[in-house]
Chain A
Amino acid sequence: MTPIAITFLLISVLLIWGGLVVSIVVLRRDGRLVEELEARERESAADGGAGAPRAGDV
């Protein structure tokens, strides 16, 4: 392959596949936050506090 084609192949891979990898890492981090938040709400609901379930809650 020519040097310029290799360069653009690498840049494409870095930006697009790299973007995917970074996005997945961020999603996993945020997923843990969601789980933590939901766990707190469950605890709150179990205590009969303000987090107790209402009709339609998910």
Chain B
Amino acid sequence: MAARSATTHHGAQREQWSGQLGFVLAAVGSAIGLGNIWRFPGVAYENGGGAFLIPYLVALLTAGIPVLLLDYSIGHRFRGSAPTSFRRMSRPAETLGWFQVGVSLVITLYYTAVVAWAASFMWFAATQAWGEDPEAFFFGEFLQVAESPGVGLDVVPGVLLPLVLCWVVTIAILALGVRKGVERANVVFIPTLVAMFLAIVVRALTLPGAVDGLNAFFTPDWAALADPGVWIAAYGQIFFSLSIAFGIMITYSSYLRRRANLTSTGLVVGFGNSSFELLAGIGVFSALGFMAFQQGVTVGELDTIQGIGLAFVAFPQILSLMPGGPVFGVLFFASLTLAGLTSLLSILQVISAAFQEKFGWSPRQAALLVGVPVAVVSTVLFSTTTALFVLDVTDKYINEVGVVGSAVVMTLVVGLALRRLRELQTHLNARPGVHVGGWWRLLVGLGVPLVLGYIFVTGVASLLGEPYEGYPWSFLTTIGWGGVAFAVVVALLMTFVPWRRDVDDFVAHELPARELWGRRWSSVPSGAAPHHHEEDRR
């Protein structure tokens, strides 16, 4: 192995993670997001409680981790962001990479706003500024939500300032690059997040009524297992939670060292993400049990058990009722902020890396030239009285159409059109780690496209069938389908923009002889070292 710390990239040094730990923490940080805390517990409860564990684990092992490994193998083998990696796989496939960048662009616009809300609520929690009516405070006083959906320009100063601050912090971290920025932030943020959330869960478990909440969460409803909708919900939860198939893990794995382990890392990231979800489920349902106890109702009778309402309305209600509420309120919203920030950084890195490679920019240039315009658009759209409507619709459409569509197309293109799965399987097995068998190709090439294809078709049919949440069709078309169309336009336009350097001047790794990659790694094979299997010529 060369003693150098980074590969050459377009005449400059390509960045790398400092080691396996930095990558694992960044990947876990990307996977653990707001959805782990406010989506998983509610989805599990509504889809069979304890019995949901079965489809959830099946989905993790048959779709989540296999697609995670697909992302890793693409990024690591072709050493680039999504557009670079797909281009090196097949020239026309570059468009798919840019579509993933477009999807990431749309998500960053509103995701930052939610992180900014959580950061604001850290301060509100210290004094319990929401008073007696957290719902009126959140929707009325804080967001000042307009009476009807639309795109307005009435700025809410209380939202504008934290949003701008959030963008400044994010762009600053991004400008520092992969190792000094993204990795260092995750190395600090993720352990802090886990420690804070553990403290919250321990406190929630000691509240009166917590047991009722846990009973509601873990008691299995076996009939649910016969409902296909429950299985689809499990696949959807795993898929949206793991940050897969829209460029993040491709980009992150491209910064791994040549020999780095991929498969075992994928297992740690997959189970790490699910472990945090389980922790969140225990904490959230203990707290909901406490709220139900205080109100003299059952957990099933509570109005809000997931989503924005859970975080910004139900939790403030709980915090107002519990002893030590201000302290645990600050911890809860700090956890939300960190979980969101680490995911936001990973989505922005997808965009930054793609533009760095296309135009030969440095991380700092990309952070400024891409990050600042995106920040301006985000601030204009999401610091106004209509932000909540725009956010709700954009989130729904870009996830159900953009992200799922990207995953379906990616698996079909790589597996069926380009037939690269065997090569990628070999790449995964050519370094120490858990051996990946032919089952992986079957799952990624057939099982995942079928399941996600079904989710995609039913999702689109639902969006076309009746207006989402009763919004006007004109609003849904402009904002929802407009966001998806924006990602498509980015994909088409950027594909035709010429590369600053020759991206095709790249020779993929020469794969090791079959007798080497066919074995399961339990020790370093004698004579492995002198073989130089890979060359990355740019």
Contact = CB atoms under 8 A, between A and B. Distances in A.
Interface of A: 1-2, 4-9, 11-13, 15-17, 19-20, 23-24, 26-27, 30-31, 33-34, 36-38, 40-45, 49-51, 53-58
Given A27-B24, A31-B261, A58-B1, 12 more contacts: A5-B217, A12-B218, A15-B57, A24-B268, A27-B20, A34-B260, A40-B524, A41-B529, A49-B530, A50-B530, A56-B7, A58-B7
B477 to A, nearest CB: 41
Contacts of A34: 20, 259-261, 431-432
Interface string B35-73: 000000000000001110100010000000000000000
A4 B214 CA distance: 11
A52 to B, nearest CB: 8
Contacts of A30: 261, 264, 432-434, 521
Contact of A23 (B267, B432, B536): B267
Interface string B247-287: 00000000001111100110110111011001000100000
B211 interface: yes
Given A41-B529, A57-B532, A33 B524 contact: yes
B514 interface: no
A54 B264 contact: no
Contact of A16 (B20, B215, B275, B523): B275
Pairs of residues from A and B, 3 with the lowest C-beta to C-beta distance, nearest first: A8-B50, A53-B2, A40-B529
A45 B532 CA distance: 10
Interface residues on B, range: 35 or more
Contacts of A41: 1, 259, 529
A9 B220 CA distance: 10
A57 B536 contact: yes
Contact of B4 (A8, A17, A20, A58): A58
Nearest to A37: B524
Nearest to A6: B218
A56 B536 CA distance: 5
A19 B1 CA distance: 32
Contacts of B431: 34, 37
A34 B215 CA distance: 45
13 contacts: A11-B53, A12-B53, A17-B278, A19-B271, A23-B268, A23-B272, A34-B432, A37-B431, A40-B524, A44-B529, A51-B530, A54-B535, A57-B7
A8 to B, nearest CB: 3
B538 interface: yes
Contacts of B272: 20, 23
B537 interface: yes
A41 B6 CA distance: 16
B462 interface: no
B267 A26 contact: yes
Contact of A5 (B2, B215, B265, B434): B215
B453 to A, nearest CB: 27
Contacts of B4: 53, 57-58
A37 B214 CA distance: 47
A8 B534 CA distance: 47
A42 B3 contact: yes
B53 A8 contact: yes
Given A12-B50, A15-B53, A16-B275, A56 B537 contact: yes
Interface string B1-33: 111101110000000100010001000000000
B8 to A, nearest CB: 6
A55 to B, nearest CB: 6
A22 B538 CA distance: 39
